[in-house]
Structure formats: C-alpha cells, structure tokens
Amino acid sequence: MLKEYRDAGVLSDRATLVAITINTFFGFVQHIFTFYAPVLLPILGLRLGLMYVGARAAVSLGITAAGVLAGAVVLSEDDVASASDAGVTMPGEDAADESTRETVAGAVTKTGGKLKTLVPRLAVVYAAVVFLTETYDVTAFTAAAEPLTSVLGLPGVAVPAVATFAVDTTTGAIFIAPHVPGEFTAGEAVATMLVGGIVSFAVSTFKRSIPFQYGIWGARFGSKVIAVNIAAKVVFISAAIAVLLV
C-alpha cells in the first residue's frame, strides 16, 4: 500500500521513509507470534528468551519512536497529498457502490498489473544475487565478529556464537543456549546475539534486503530504504548492547 501511495504521489519519498520506519515495531510484533514465541523461546528458555525478545522489542520500539520524531521534524504538508486528488482509493471508500464481484475483479486487475512490473524485476535481482553468492563467500563478513567481541569484553566463545547467529538465527540460538549459565551470563548471551544481529546485516542485506527492496521500490529508493533500516538498527542495537554490558 505504501508503494501505491508513493507511486500515486500521495506520499513523498521522505514521508514514505518515515512511514516505513514507524512500521518497525508493528512488524516486530507479528514476528513474536510467528518466530520468537514458537521457535526461539523453547530453544533459549523462558528467562533468556524473554530477555532477548525484550531487547529486540525495545530496539524496534525505539526505531518506531525515532520515526515518529523524525516525521514531526522533517515532514510538512507538501510531503502528503490528498488521496482523492491523486486518484487513489482509500480502504473502505466506495464500498457501498461496489458489489463483491466488482471489488474482487478490481483487486485482481490491480494485482495483475503490479505483478507484471514486480516479478520481472525480482527475477533479475534474485538471479544476480544467486550468481554473486555462489561466486563469492559473503559469509566472510562474519570475520568482523572477533574485533567486536574483543572490544565489548565478551568471552572467547562469543566469536563462533556471533558467526553462527549471524548466518542463521535459529542455529545461533541452539549454539548459545547450552552455554548459559557457564561461558555466558544471561546479559552477555543476549549481547552476543545482538552483536550477531549487527554482523548479520552484511549477509542478510545482500541476500534478502537488496532483492526485496530493489524489487519493490527500484534501485534508487530501495537503496535509501536499506540505508535507513541499517542505520537505525545499528544505532539502537548498539545502544541495547551498551545497556546490557554496563
């Protein structure tokens, strides 16, 4: 829907970026029920799992709050146009004037048009990413784990833990769980997983974010979306790590 509003001129680029940022926490809430609660909590245990999920929730909420603040500071009336002036139908509008069949037919037509644009673009970008990931070892970026863990004073086992967590969250959780308590305190374990999240941006951005965001928004605006997402996550995850290790 944001893409439709941006394409129609209802939202400027700045307004769209603000809206995407504000949506961060609400996207996180969806993942609680699809991943964190059914997958991570049983692996990590209740206490450690709640600490990690709580840390991620705080990060997401912080990003959303920053988006709200940014919107209040940088947006003006020029960044948002009336949907009616742009020829965009808002959800629920004209519902009384359309039968169910007309509504479905309109949705199918609109979806078909979008797929004709998105599918070829996604196919090209994903093909390029598959070629590059098969040619180059993008997981080599996880070598950044050692200096990070050393600076933070995390135990030696944090290096393979971060590398594992950066490549696959579930596998990383399985690796870390037996070391708490023991090699890690609960706070150190959560900090290690958050460091793994930062390091994983190098891998996940290349494998998932670029294909998805470029496929939806195109290269120019997609790059802006990726840059804002990474910057916000690095800043707020770093703050969460600092709080855990103080």
Bond before 160 cis per omega within 30 degrees: no
- The residue behind tokens 């703050």 is 239
Using alpha carbons only, give the angle 53, 54, 58 rounded to the nearest 5 degrees. 115
Mean confidence (pLDDT) of the chain: 79
What would the pLDDT profile of 76-103 be if each residue is shown by its tens digit? Answer: 888 787 655 555 555 555 544 556 666 5
What would the pLDDT profile of 180-210 be if each residue is shown by its tens digit? Answer: 888 888 999 999 899 888 887 777 777 677 7
Question: Residue ranges per domain, the chain?
Answer: 2-85+115-245
Is 86 buried (19+), middle (13-18) or exposed (0-12) by CB count in 10 A? middle
Percent of the chain with pLDDT over 90: 24
Is 158 buried (19+), middle (13-18) or exposed (0-12) by CB count in 10 A? buried
* Joined tokens for residue 122: 């996604």
What is d(CA 143, CA 6) in angstroms, rounded to the nearest whole number?
A: 39
- The residue behind tokens 């965009």 is 88
